[in-house]
Amino acid sequence: MENFVVSARKYRPVTFDSVVGQTHITTTLKNAIATNQLAQAFLFCGPRGVGKTTCARILAKTINCQDLGPEVEACGKCESCVSFGNNASLNIHELDAASNNSVEDIRNLTDQVRYPPQSGRYKIYIIDEVHMLSSSAFNAFLKTLEEPPSYAIFILATTEKHKILPTILSRCQIFDFNRIQPKDISDHLAAIAVKEEVKAEYEALELIAQKADGGLRDALSMFDLNVTFATDRTLRYREVLDNLHILDYDYYFQMTDAFLQGSVSKALLLLDEIIRKGFDSHLFVVGLLKHFRNLMVSKDAATVTLLDVSESVRQKYLEQSAQASLSFLLSALSVGGQCDINFKTAKNQRLHVEICLMKLAHLSETLNLSTIAVDETAKKKVDTGSVIREEPAAYVKPAAPDPALPRNPSAPTNGRLKSTRNLMARAASDVTREVIREAQPAQPIGVASMALTFENLQQAWSEFIQLRKIGGKSTSTEEVALDRAFELRETTVLLPLDNDLQQEKLTEIKGELLVFLRSRFDEPRLEVAARVAPQDVKRMPYTPLEKLEYMMDKNPLLKELKQRLGLDADF
């Protein structure tokens, strides 16, 4: 019985042209060989399974090939290529730095460098996982790496470039390998499937490519696994989906449909089905966020190319993105992001996810009703004589009652506003509130200018504070800073503050405050000047002399005793 060879070894590239997804690397190396501009040391870095060691071996074989053709590819027939293929080449040395990372190992390597090659032009040293070398080993390697003999070339490979000393990096020509694109991986797997006489649905190969996350070696391992699983040597999408334990796209599409329909029960039942199939609820939340992101990029033809999915799935994204508004997707991303952030700290994690799904199911209704409420109240006009004033939906004047406005910010102006606020409380989403705040006007439109008096300024000042509270923008520090007595001197408002923190907060909102006040009084010269009141700081006695003086101030008899006896403080 013939021994089985895994696909990662059986179909390992042997020429530059057969390397998958690293054209920028292979083209540069071929040009360097053709023009005889080879560096003394190369550093190949990138994720696992993208071809670093493979390219190092191809480079080592090619530069020693005795019959190099115009295509700059090893012939595979000369003595050097044959000995390389049989692992018998004396000019190519491979070192695994993960297990040979001591100073002694590097010294043995540098001793070998002194001897020129017996045949061929170069001696090539390939050091894999070079970041595992100790600092002492790196230092022992520095001199040889900087001034090697003309026949010595070093090729270093690593997955963690940041762990390599800068002195080593400066002596190498660095090549950054990319993650291989899913389409390149799936095409490569399709070619291998033909050679292995394996029937495969292209969607199944795309699923393997996406699961591999840019690593071709991982993709080939999963390919072998699924071929072994399929008794009839046929890879089907559903079987690969179950075998690799991947959550199907359909669940996310069904869940989003439930959100758009406002069906809480459907969303909760889908979550229960997902959990019963053994999928982690946190991974489901992460996948749902990715689904919302894909829907958002599908809304613009220019960003559809960012979808790394099959054509059939891409079409589903385009159809569902047409049904979901951009406001819904942005709000859903925020709600799901908060669920992801707080998942680890939640005591009941399933309930935490279910609450998130309930919010998302009510989100569409909340956004629709709040938009309707704002549109209706924005059209409401109150005739004030020669000026027509449009009042915002949640606009309140706390300083003086107004028959056209509610006295209490929580009191609704009509039944629709009441239902809107109930829904907002139910949703309890930061972005939902942000969308509603953006929909409301920042200040009244068309309000008649008032005379700049102290009483009118107090009223406008209170209105600004109330608008900030309603919009959810105010903080406790801001409220303490603004809610205090101030003076009006001509066109300057003098505001005393307690500390620097309040002054910093006032600086942040000063621009918005001035825009609001100047629009109310039509006074472009109006300014707000804040000043931190000086505070008396009582310094406690610390030195022996200070303590003595403090006690003498409290008790004059102690001072008289000190003078009569000639006493002094003990320093």
- Report the pLDDT averaged over residues 399-409: 44
Q: Which residue has the higher pLDDT, 454 or 394?
A: 454
Question: Phi then psi for 560, rounded to 5 degrees?
Answer: -65, -40
Asked whether the predicted pLDDT for residue 259 surpasses 80, the reply is: yes
pLDDT score, position 536:
53
Task: Check: CB of residue 292 under 8 Å from CB of residue 282.
Answer: no
Helices 326-342 & 430-439 angle (0-180, nearest 10): 150
Residue 106 sits at φ, ψ, to 5 deg, of -70, -35
Lowest mean pLDDT among 31-35, 201-205, 437-441: 437-441
Count Cα neighbours of 283 within 13 Å in the Cβ-side half-sphere.
Answer: 10
At residue 427, does pLDDT exceed 80?
no
State mean pLDDT over 430-444.
Answer: 41
Closest CA to 276 of 265, 268, 264: 268
Give the per-residue pLDDT at 430: 47
For the cut 50, the answer to whether the pLDDT of residue 433 exceeds it is no
Q: What share of the chain is helix, strand, coil (3-state, %, to 5)?
A: 55, 10, 35
Give the DSSP H/E element, type plus range, for residue 529. Answer: strand 527-532
- Give residue 412's pLDDT band: very low, low, confident or very high (50, 70, 90): very low
Quote the pLDDT of residue 440: 39
**Contact of 488 with 559, CB cutoff 8 Å:** no
* Selection from 269-273, 477-481, 546-550 with the highest mean pLDDT: 269-273
Sheet holding 527-532, edge to edge: 487-489, 492-497, 527-532
pLDDT given at position 434: 45
111-141 pLDDT, tens digit each: 888 888 877 788 999 999 999 998 889 988 8
Could you list the beta-strand ranges (E) of 179-307. Answer: 199-200, 234-235
What type of residue sits at position 354? E
Strand, coil or helix: what is 330?
Answer: helix
- Residue in the structure block whose two tokens are 């001072």: 559
Instruction: Supply the mean pLDDT for the chain.
Output: 81
In this structure, the chain runs to a length of 571
Least confident of 308-317, 413-422, 547-556: 413-422
Calculate mean pLDDT across residues 48-62. Answer: 91
In this prediction, residue 82 has a pLDDT band, given cuts at 50, 70 and 90, of: confident
Is the confidence at residue 344, as pLDDT, over 50? yes
> Whole-angstrom distance between the N-terminal and C-terminal Cα of the chain?
96
Residue 481 reports pLDDT greater than 80? no
Inform me whether the pLDDT recorded for 381 exceeds 50.
no
pLDDT of residue 431: 42
Indicate the residue type of 340.
D
Contact 367, 433 (CB under 8 A): no
Handedness of CA 338, 342, 348, 350 (dihedral sign): positive
**426 or 268, which is more confident:** 268
How many whole angstroms separate alpha carbon 136 and alpha carbon 452?
76
Check residue 382 and give its pLDDT. 41
pLDDT over 70 (residue 437): no
Give the per-residue pLDDT at 376.
59
> Across-strand partners of 179?
none
Query: Which percentage of the chain shows pLDDT scores above 90?
Result: 29
| Segment 84-108, tens digit of pLDDT | 777 778 888 888 998 888 899 899 9
Please give the helix or strand (H or E) that residue 96 lies within, else none.
Answer: strand 92-96
- If you average pLDDT over each of 218-232, 369-383, 433-447, 501-515, which comes out highest? 218-232
pLDDT of residue 67: 78
The pLDDT, as a whole number, for residue 76 is 77
DSSP-derived letter for residue 451 is -
Q: What per-residue confidence (pLDDT) applies to 288?
A: 94
Position with higher pLDDT, 443 vs 227: 227
Query: Does the structure show a pLDDT above 70 at 409?
Result: no
Q: Give the tokens for residue 51.
A: 């071809």
Look at residue 74 and give its three-state secondary structure: coil
Give CA separation, 41 vs 130, 139, 441, 451, in Å.
Answer: 13, 16, 64, 79
Predicted confidence at residue 374, as pLDDT, reads: 52
- Looking at residue 444, its pLDDT comes to 43
**Using DSSP, how many helices (H) and how many strands (E) does the chain show?**
24, 12
Cα separation, 63 vs 55, whole angstroms: 12
**pLDDT beyond 90 at 282:** yes
- Whether 74 has a pLDDT exceeding 60, the answer reads yes
Percent of the chain with pLDDT over 70: 84
Burial (CB count within 10 angstroms: exposed 0-12, middle 13-18, buried 19+), residue 451: exposed
φ and ψ at residue 383, rounded to 5 degrees: -80, 115
Cβ-contact 186, 201 below 8 angstroms: no
E strand map for 381-462: 381-383, 388-390
pLDDT digits (tens, 9 = 90+) for 382-403: 444 434 444 444 444 444 444 4
